[in-house]
Amino acid sequence: MKQHDIRSHLPHQLIHDVYVLLDDGDRRALAHTNLTPLEFNLLLQLDLEQGQRLTDVGAKLLCVKSTITRLVDRLERDGLVRRNPDPDDRRAQRLILTPRGAAVRAEALAMHNAAVERRMNLLDPEEQEQLTRLLLKLRDGLAADLAAQQAVDTER
């Protein structure tokens, strides 16, 4: 592999490795609540009154329709969410957090926040700020690159 290839691949590999470790830590932190990180993130999108359209939740979580349906089926079976007809669109459903779902979400959030604090405190405040700046720059650049690629793909 050429030197420039190694320089660009190493950060990518490290970000992947960190993601895997963070995901595993999230799974462990949420284990007591019996939620996966994806289920937890879905619950974070919801409220007790108006809810969100299933399609909007799926788009925010980058999930295809079959994945979001399976997640919602499980959460609904466990009494954490409920589906309501969308008053603005007969074909759509809105996903609403139940009181039980709100309680489980609050417990999961407390456990997750404690785990995030513990793990992020491996870096001192200055290192956290530097990492945040670099990750924001990378995130924004990747989003712009994906949008540009999508525009090119649409033109084809």
- Using 50, 70 and 90 to split pLDDT, how confident is the model at 152? confident
The 10s digit of each residue's pLDDT in 9-47 is: 899 999 999 999 999 999 999 999 999 999 999 999 998
- Using 50, 70 and 90 to split pLDDT, how confident is the model at 123? very high
The 10s digit of each residue's pLDDT in 46-77 is: 988 888 998 899 989 989 989 999 999 999 99
| Percent above pLDDT 90 for the chain | 75
Instruction: Please give the helix or strand (H or E) that residue 126 lies within, else none.
Output: helix 125-155
CB-based contacts of 86, cutoff 8 Å, min separation 6: 53, 92, 93, 94
CATH class of 10-122: mainly alpha
- pTM beyond 0.75: the answer is yes
